[in-house]
Amino acid sequence: MKKWYDNAVIYQIYPKSFQDSNQDGVGDLQGIIKRLPYLKKLGVNTLWLNPIYVSPQVDNGYDVANYYAIDPQMGSMADFEALLKEAHKFDMHLLMDFVLNHTSDQHPWFQDAIKSKDSIYRDYYIFAGENGKRPNNWASFFGGSVWEKDPLNTGEYYFHLFDKHMPDLNWKNPEVRHAMLDIARFWLDKGVDGLRIDAFIHVAKADLYQNFPGNIDPVVAEPFYANRPQVLEWMNEFSHTLKAEYPDVYLLGEASSADVTLANDYLDPNGAALDSVITFRYFTEDLSKLNPNFSDQYQPRDLDFEAFKQNQVVWQQTVDKPNLYLNNHDLPRIATRFAKNDNQAKMYALLMHLQKGTSVIYYGEELGLRNINIPEYEGDESVDRFVKEATEAGLTKDEAMDMVNQMHRLASRGPMLWDDSPYGGFSNVEPWIKGINEQNVSAQDQEDDPNSFLNFYRKLISLKQTELFAKGAYRMLNIPGKTYVYERHLDDQSAIVALNFDHHSIEIDTDKTDVLMVVGDYELHDGKLLLEPDSGIVLK
């Protein structure tokens, strides 16, 4: 059956950094409303907002204290309703981020749970251990143990996979599952079109009373808390319940460690029954050139191009509608991470977004924005540790910080660059996140330049929505070297996307003559395409 999201091109907005309308340095919902015409002209038709619920902002909104209200920094419920209405007027759909694996420790459920062992909310969370002994050696993704002492001093601990201020919910408890459905209904009843489901692969945990083998304590123990079989059962119930009540709802699941087999289980109507899955497994990195004398955590690295290519072709050939993205709020921006120059940043865009699947464009990607340079990472222990180790190994502090800014996820969350005013048109006051990048060019300055990123992305997005690129089959063409060449075909139409990341020119036989998009330099005659280094082309 045809669905609205078959042709979705999603634009990810990090609301805190998009547009500040009340000059407090934090982006807000009225700011997004103001920029809807820009988004319409860009050509996207679906918006995904990172969390906007009431939150102490320990993890920038992924720590939710009230799922039923908008964080006052970002606006009010009336602002949200206005945004939804306006977006719909522009024929755009809206997706909310949906955080169901954990809450903030300030959430009333948790606050009640730590008042008494008899609290009816105690079993909403995972308390375990006794006499001050942690149940196991598992580590949190944010460092340290997953276990934090029960503030009630019972000798028990509570489980947190992320920050200690983000206790995990106990999905074994049917009341938790029902409560999450009720929250989803609240937003869907308002007219929201879908949910980006955060960290759902972690809702099921193994038997808590076992260590992960080895002598490390604490140790990341993913097999014990990621992609467990019960995830399918609980998400199946969640998805089917919502789809029965809201047949058009779009469910986009974040499955960071999913390979194609897991992704297909998550997409299977008998599995998690999601509509699309975001994996973090696309970008295999080349770790061979890292400095062994200090932590590799923030050491920049190249893309392992061959492995990346293999990953892409496997996803394209095995998963029905892969999610296509180059960066997001958890990853460095593509223009900083892998693209060596502007041409390559555009080539990665052609590579990724013209493939089969649903594109997600991270705000500012369409301007070729790079990471910002954050001067200080206040209170971030991993950064302090890294800088200490790197300077002990002989780097200067600036060199170490430069690495951090290339790699840290916060550096990809810089303010959107609208114009050339002091804070880039994002705000009149200093933004909540400090740091600039002078290599960036604002939307205003790109508007009338036919060769700008912005105009390139406009063309790309409109091409993406043509039948051939929206529905066509995908075939990788094996051209030797650091190249990426593929064909899309539908009935009697076909096109090729040819990209040369290599140092020398490449030649490809082709019968196509109609040039749809170009980056760099090429020659095309007598059935031969000559593509110079750092050049790409789309031919029909």
Residue 168 makes contact with ligand NOJ by CB under 6 A: no
Least distance (Å) between residue 413 CB and ligand NOJ: 10
User: Does residue 304 have an active-site annotation?
Assistant: no
**Residue closer to ligand NOJ (CB basis): 255 or 497:** 255
Residue 59 makes contact with ligand NOJ by CB under 6 A: yes
**Residue closer to ligand NOJ (CB basis): 217 or 330:** 330
Half-sphere exposure of residue 142, counting CA atoms within 13 Å on the CB side?
18
Cα R_g (the chain), whole angstroms: 24
In the set 150, 198, 275, 366, which binds ligand NOJ (CB under 6 A)? 198
d(CA 167, CA 163) in angstroms, rounded, equals: 8
How many chain residues interact with ligand NOJ (CB under 6 A)?
9
Least distance (Å) between residue 343 CB and ligand NOJ: 30
Least distance (Å) between residue 5 CB and ligand NOJ: 20
**Residue closer to ligand NOJ (CB basis): 329 or 346:** 329
- Phi and psi at residue 128, to the nearest 5°: -160, 180
Least distance (Å) between residue 330 CB and ligand NOJ: 5
In the set 296, 330, 419, 447, which binds ligand NOJ (CB under 6 A)? 330
In the set 199, 352, 367, 372, which binds ligand NOJ (CB under 6 A)? 199
**Residue closer to ligand NOJ (CB basis): 99 or 443:** 99
Residue 105 makes contact with ligand NOJ by CB under 6 A: no
**Collapsing DSSP states into helix, strand and coil, what is residue 244?**
helix
Q: Which two tokens stand for residue 210?
A: 């076992």
Identify which of 317, 260, 255, 306 has the alpha carbon closest to the alpha carbon of residue 283.
306
Cis peptide leading into residue 375 (ω within 30°) = no
- Asked if residues 452 and 369 have their Cβ atoms less than 8 Å apart, the reply is no
Give DSSP secondary structure letters for 167-231: PBB-TTSHHHHHHHHHHHHHHHHHT--EEEEETGGGS----SS-PPSSS-SSB--HHHHSS-HHH
What is the CB neighbour count within 10 angstroms for residue 306?
A: 11
Least distance (Å) between residue 242 CB and ligand NOJ: 20
**Residue closer to ligand NOJ (CB basis): 98 or 484:** 98
Cis peptide leading into residue 218 (ω within 30°) = yes
- What's the chain's length in residues? 540
- To 5 degrees, how large is the angle CA 437–CA 440–CA 443? 135
Least distance (Å) between residue 28 CB and ligand NOJ: 19
**Collapsing DSSP states into helix, strand and coil, what is residue 301?**
coil
Least distance (Å) between residue 48 CB and ligand NOJ: 11
In the set 11, 62, 386, 453, which binds ligand NOJ (CB under 6 A)? 62
The residue annotated as part of the active site, out of 150, 254, 366, 487, is 254
User: Does residue 254 have an active-site annotation?
Assistant: yes
**Residue closer to ligand NOJ (CB basis): 99 or 226:** 99
**Residue closer to ligand NOJ (CB basis): 148 or 156:** 148
CA dihedral of 45, 308, 383, 254, whole degrees rounded to 10? 40
Residue 162 makes contact with ligand NOJ by CB under 6 A: yes
Q: Which two tokens stand for residue 493?
A: 């139409």
Shortest-Cβ-distance residue relative to ligand NOJ = 62
**Collapsing DSSP states into helix, strand and coil, what is residue 312?**
helix
The residue annotated as part of the active site, out of 79, 156, 198, 365, is 198
Q: Which residues bind ligand NOJ (CB under 6 A)?
A: 59, 62, 99, 162, 198-199, 254, 329-330
Q: Supply the residues annotated as catalytic.
A: 198, 254
